[in-house]
Structure formats: structure tokens, C-alpha cells
Structure 1
Amino acid sequence: MRARTHSSTGKLEMDYVVTPSSVRIARVIVSAHLNLWGLGQLADGACLAVSELLTNVWQHTRPNQLGQRNVHVTLTRTPDGVVLCVHDPDPRLPESVRTADDDESGRGLFLVQELAHRFGVSPSPSGGKDVWLSFLNTTGSVSAAAR
């Protein structure tokens, strides 16, 4: 797995090569930062979302000339929670699909939308697209170190 991470107060950025086995590592990094910021209660939803979004990149985007699928993941602390954004260079916007009750896949984007307070997809000015979600801290408790 190849990744470059940069963390500053209230912001995590990862330049990431997505592989089937690397998705778990992104979840661990996101969870660790949320716990560091005193927002561990948001970890389950945010980790599921990052997992689904990176898996979608792996399954639905075209690899670059090196056969890689690169993303830029940003997790930003906000006054009322966090915003997660996954940028990939493929300009095709994701589409929700209808699934039957016995389908084993196809529900990820719907699930991510249900978990998040807000959800959006937009073409990126630098090319590709941004898929973003916000998660609210409904408990109201944030450690002083995280502010």
C-alpha cells in the first residue's frame, strides 16, 4: 500500500493508492484521528463511509497508466462534527442503483447517504470528482485537546 498522510490541528489529509487490502488501513487512520479529536462516537459511521467510498473507487474508477487508483482523502474537524471528502480523478459521478432484497451488493452509496447528516457529489475544479459527507457530533462533548 502506498499512502502519504499529513495531519494538522483539526485536519487529516491522505494521498492514497486504493487496493482491496488497503481500505482497512484508511479506516484505522480515520478512527485514530477521530478518537484523538475527542469524536470517537463518530468513528463507526465515518469508518464505514470511508470504507464504502474507497471500495467504490476500487470497483468503479479507471486505473491510471500505472494501474493504480489514486485518491485524496480529507477529514476536517468542524465546530459541530467532521466532514469527510474523497477525491478521485475519474469525472464520472456515482449513481445509486436499485437493488433487490437478495442482492449482495449495490447498497453502499445508499447506506453512506443514510449515515451522514449531509452528503454530496460534485465535479472537482482540478478534474475528477469529490464525494463528501458530514457527520454531526450529537453528544456535545469534545475534549479540550481536540478543540
Structure 2
Amino acid sequence: MRGTTRATSGKLEMDYDVTPLSVRIARTIVSAHLRLWGLENLIDTGALAISELMTNVLDHTRPDSEGRRSARVTVTRIPDGVALCVHDSDSALPLQRRAGDDDENGRGLQLVRAIADKFGISQPPSGGKDVWLTLLMPRDVPTA
């Protein structure tokens, strides 16, 4: 598994070959940064969102010529919360399924949309797609 992580004040970027292990690693690193930034109230939702979006890359994107699926995760501290983005090089847009009651899969995007304050999918001019969301601190909780 290849991976690099870069962090500056208020911004985290991670480039990974997406595997089950890298999904867990990304979840752990995102949680640590949210804690560091004083956003403890967003740790669970942030970790869940990154897990779901990276799992979508793992399960639904075409591998490159070397059989790898890669993604760039960007986490940016904003004044009232955090912005998260997962970019992959597959230009096929994710499809939101309507999962049945007994289905074990197919709820990832529904879940991310439900926990996000803002959610979107865009196709940058450089190719691929960005799946992004914003999580805001609850109004009654002070931020650091």
C-alpha cells in the first residue's frame, strides 16, 4: 500500500492506494486531526464520512493500469467546522441506490448525505471526481 500524508495548520491531505487497511488508517488520522483542531463533536461523523467515501472508491471505481484504486483525501478546518473531500481519478459519478431493508450494502451515500450539513459531487477540469461534504459544529457547542 502506498500512502503519503501532508498536514499544515488547518489542512490535511492524504494520498492513498485505497485498501481496507488504508480506509482504517484514514479514519484514524482524520479523527486525530479533528481532535487536534478542537472539533471533538465532529469526530464520529467525520470518521464515518471518510470511511464511507473511501469504501466507495474501493468498491466502485475502476482500477488504474497497475490494478490500484487511489484517492486523495483533503480535510480543511473552516471557521465553524470542517470540509472533507475525497478525490479519485474515475470520472464515473457515484449512483445513490435505494437499499432494501435486508440489503447489507448501498446506504453509504445516503448516510453521508444525512450526516452532512452540505454535500456535493463535482468533476474538476483535471479529471476524476470530488465527493465532498461540510460538517458544522452544533450551534450550542463552543469551538476551539
Residue 142 of structure 1: aligned partner: 143
Alpha-carbon distance in 2 for matches of 1:69, 1:61: 7
Residue 123 of structure 2: aligned partner: 123
Residue 109 of structure 1: aligned partner: 109
Alpha-carbon distance in 2 for matches of 1:117, 1:91: 25
- Secondary structure at 1:68 match in 2: coil
Render the CA deviation track for 1:72-105: whole Å, top value 9, x for unaligned: 1100000110000000000011111111111111
> Are 1:45 and 2:14 an aligned pair?
no
Task: Give the letter for the 2:132 counterpart.
Answer: W
Residue 133 of structure 1: aligned partner: 133
Corresponding pairs, count: 143
Residue 75 of structure 1: aligned partner: 75
Unpaired stretches in structure 2, ≥5 consecutive residues: none
1:19-58 superposed matches below 5 A: 19-58=19-58
Render the CA deviation track for 1:94-117: whole Å, top value 9, x for unaligned: 111111111111011100000100
CA contact (8 A) 2:80 2:143 kept: no
Task: Give the letter for the 2:66 counterpart.
Answer: L
Alpha-carbon distance in 2 for matches of 1:21, 1:10: 25
- Secondary structure at 1:134 match in 2: strand
Residue 8 of structure 2: aligned partner: 8
Alpha-carbon distance in 1 for matches of 2:17, 2:90: 14
Render the CA deviation track for 1:29-57: whole Å, top value 9, x for unaligned: 00000000000110100100100011100
- Secondary structure at 1:21 match in 2: helix
For the aligned residue pairs, the C-alpha RMSD in angstroms reads 0.9
The Cα of 1:141 is off from its aligned counterpart by 2.1
- Secondary structure at 1:55 match in 2: helix
Task: Give the letter for the 1:113 counterpart.
Answer: R
Alpha-carbon distance in 1 for matches of 2:24, 2:70: 16
Alpha-carbon distance in 2 for matches of 1:99, 1:70: 26
Render the CA deviation track for 1:9-67: whole Å, top value 9, x for unaligned: 10000011101222110000000000000001101001001000111001100111111
Alpha-carbon distance in 1 for matches of 2:100, 2:135: 28
- Secondary structure at 2:102 match in 1: coil
- Secondary structure at 2:65 match in 1: coil
Unpaired stretches in structure 1, ≥5 consecutive residues: none
> Are 1:89 and 2:89 an aligned pair?
yes
